[in-house]
Amino acid sequence: MPQPDAAQVKEDLLKAYPAKVARKRAKHMQINDTDQVPEIQANVRTVPGIITQRGCTYAGCKGVILGPTRDVLSITHGPIGCGYYSWLTRRNQTRPTSDTDDNFMTYCLSTDMQEEQIVFGGENNLRQAVREAFDVFHPKAIAIHATCPVGLIGDDIHKVAEQLSEELGINIFAFSCEGYRGVSQSAGHHIANNKIFQAVVSHEAPTQDVPVPQGPFKINLLGEYNIGGDAFVIEELFERMGVTLVSTFCGNSTYDSLAQARHAELNLVMCHRSINYQADMLETAYGIPWIKVNFIGAEQTAKALRKIAAFFNDQDLTRRTEEVIAQEMKAVEMARDDIASRCRGKKAMLFVGGSRAHHYQYLFEEIGMEVVAAGYEFAHRDDYEGRRVLPDIKIDADSRSIEDLHVDPAPDRRDPAEDSQAVDARLRAIDGQGLNDYEGMMPMMRSGTLSIDDVSHHETELLIERYHPDVICCGIKEKYAIQKHGVPSRQLHSYDYGGPYAAFKGAINFWKDLDMMVNAPVWSLVTPPWQRSSAPTLEAIMAIGGL
């Protein structure tokens, strides 16, 4: 089937909107051009009434960033809903090291704010709730999260945190992540990054007994949340290579590991959108450089591992890295070639997240599937066009109140051991991205394909009609709407309860799932035989069964 003309599709997508809305949405849709990456509008407010994929600041803060750390006790301050919905729904896996290790992830704690507190303030109640939580759980640290009404009624959650920190003798910190701040989850990531840096990472003495991690080649993995066990398969590769993982932000993480982050020599940034703030702050304060990596896709994983080895520039490490890659690639190649034979040439769309719409394109590419349209739910321009556009990004009124934390170099800030230009050149040779650099999604997309930011339900439907994609990757809210059209859909927030999808093993898992979906028998059974263009003859019906 010939590809529809993207310019025409864009025009048609906008037709249904009121004129003012259409003008706004037009800026969120660009036709990709590898010669000249066009400018796209992102991280601005969604037009009210549009059926959007986006969530809120609280979801980005409590749900995404704080959710995966098993021994920081999160308390949601507000009415019951927010805490309830973010209770175990993100599939962050965790593996306590012993039977007695703290693990609070199965618990949902809320102040269940009532009308009386809306009127007279909820600080006393919050104070009481924190004390009660301490009595039951005796955690090392408590995180307080604000929901919508908290800012409006004027509760000073930071003051409460400070007071109780003193009273209870543990680290207690609060997040002003009310749902109306910013324009999406993204604001919550930023707020969470800031506070974690202040209260945990750069905290003078987070706890008395946080030891300095031991081992060679110390790294942090930033922006990996261990959905469906992704972090586990990555951790295993690090172990085999012989690099020391100090901390992950925040999949399978603990409070102490986050507090040790400053001791790493290198930061790997997986999801740039949600965690680049932390990477930059660690760089400024402690002189830890970061590199962009992507563990989604087998080739990408190999590149990521090679980049780590190239950074440390150690012969033994390089050898071990190549061994690991060679071992893993055998199974990868077998699965890839087999599945590609059934999937090559099929078309995919991805509308999801703040990095996944980019990362997962490699998995499709590796089995010869074509991505015809993609876009993020809550990313910024730099995630689309690359960090080179950062100086040109205008912060609008909706995002201005999200503080850009000013960080000073720490007294013990490390100087780079080696000429950073040489390191940079080694890294660039692998995937074009040097130190502290991210190229964004759009440069990798073929000319004539579409980038669409914050896609709406209406647009998704029309895209299905025009492109007849073979699969669409999205989130839970879109999945079943897409499948009703007879198009298989995979959730890339929850992996439809499968996974892991990261690294080599994850690539194989993903391809198998994809093969299962696009080639499933059910799609050919949707239309009843009596409604098909050529109804079967009695003879054909009786061919199965009969006497």
Partner 1 sequence: MTLLRHTDAEVRERSALTINPAKTCQPIGAMYAALGLHRCLPHSHGSQGCCSYHRSQLTRHYKEPVFAATSSFTEGSSVFGGQANLLQAINTIFTVYDPDIIAVHTTCLSETIGDDVKQIVSKAIADGKVPDGKTVFHASTPSYQGSHVVGFASMVKAMVDTFAVPSETRGRSVNLIPGWVEPADMRELKRLAEVLGVPITLFPDTSGVLDAPMHGPATMFPSGGTTRDQLRGTGAALGSLGLGPSASAPATVALEQLCKVPGQVLELPLGLRATDRFIQAMQHLTGCRIPDAITEERGRLVDLMCDMQQYFYNRSVALWGDPDQLVSLTEFCLDLGLKPRYVITGTPGKTWEKRMQAAIAGRHEVRYQQGACADMFLLHQWIKQKPVDLLIGGTHGKYIARDEDIPLVRHGFPIIDRIGHQYFPTVGYRGAIRLAEQILNALMDRQDRLSPEESFELVM
Our measurement of the distance from residue 376's CA atom to the centroid of its chain's CA atoms, rounded to an integer in Å, reads 10
**Measured between alpha carbons, how far is 229 from 501 in angstroms, rounded to an integer?**
8
Whichever of 151 and 443 has its CB closer to partner 1, that residue is 151
Contact between 526 and partner 1 per CB under 8 A: yes
Q: Which residues pair with 351 in a beta bridge?
A: 375
Closer residue to partner 1 in complex, CB, 397/547? 397
Structure tokens at 469: 């994609």
The single residue among 4, 12, 21, 448 that binds partner 1, judged by CB under 8 A, is 21
Residues assigned a catalytic role: 56, 59, 90, 189
- Residue with token string 């990054």: 193
Among 68, 139, 179, 229, binds ligand SF4 (CB under 6 A): 179
Closest CA to 218 of 285, 311, 136: 311
Strand partners, 69: 253
Q: Return the closest-CA partner of residue 279 out of 189, 203, 353, 352.
A: 189
**Contacting partner 1 (CB under 8 A), which of 320, 346, 414, 458?**
458
Alpha carbon distance 296, 325 (integer Å): 14
Applying CB under 8 A, which part among 109-117, 229-237, 430-438, 503-511 lies near partner 1?
A: 109-117
Tell me, what amino acid is at 33? D
For 267, the enclosing helix (H) or strand (E) is strand 266-269
| 376: amino acid identity, one letter | Y
Q: Which stretch binds partner 1 (CB under 8 A): 245-253, 276-284, 387-395, 470-478?
A: 470-478
Instruction: Please tell me whether residue 259 binds partner 1 under the rule CB under 8 A.
Output: no
Q: What residues have CB less than 8 Å from 185, skipping those under 6 apart?
A: 54, 55, 56, 57, 59, 60, 63, 64, 354, 377, 378
Query: Is 327 one of the binding residues for partner 1 (CB under 8 A)?
Result: no
Residue 432 interacts with which of partner 1, ligand SF4, none, CB < 5 to 8 Å by class: none
Residues 354-413 that bind partner 1 (CB under 8 A): 397-398, 401
500: preceding bond cis by omega (within 30 degrees): yes
Residue 483 sits in the site that holds partner 1 (CB under 8 A): yes
Per-residue x/- track, 142-171, ligand SF4 (CB under 6 A)? -----xx-----------------------
Contacted by 287, from ligand SF4, partner 1, none: CB < 5 to 8 Å by type: none
Judged by CB under 6 A, which stretch of 78-86, 293-301, 407-415, 504-512 contacts ligand SF4?
A: 78-86
Provide the pairing of β-strand 29-31 with 450-452: antiparallel
CA 49 to chain centre: 26
Among 6, 37, 82, 237, binds ligand SF4 (CB under 6 A): 82
Nearer to ligand SF4, 111 or 300 (CB): 111
List alpha helices for 387-524, DSSP H.
Answer: 397-400, 420-431, 457-467, 476-483, 503-518
State yes or no: residue 468 binds partner 1 (CB under 8 A): no
Residue 156 site contact among ligand SF4, partner 1, none (CB < 5 to 8 Å, cut-off depends on kind): none
**Cβ 84 to ligand SF4 shortest distance, Å:** 8
DSSP 3-state of 519 = coil
Select from 176-184, 195-203, 273-281, 349-357 the region that touches partner 1 (CB under 8 A): 176-184
From the list 63-71, 74-82, 161-169, 425-433, the region that binds ligand SF4 by CB under 6 A is: 74-82
Q: How many residues are present in the chain?
A: 547
Cβ closer to partner 1: 45 or 414?
A: 45
Which residue, 79 or 297, has its beta carbon nearer to partner 1? 79
C-alpha span between 316 and 322 (Å, rounded): 10
Q: Is 276 in the site for ligand SF4 (CB under 6 A)?
A: no
Q: Is 79 one of the binding residues for ligand SF4 (CB under 6 A)? A: yes
Instruction: Mark out the alpha helices in 287-366 (DSSP H runs).
Output: 298-312, 315-343, 356-366
Binding residues vs ligand SF4 (CB under 6 A): 78-79, 81-82, 147-148, 179
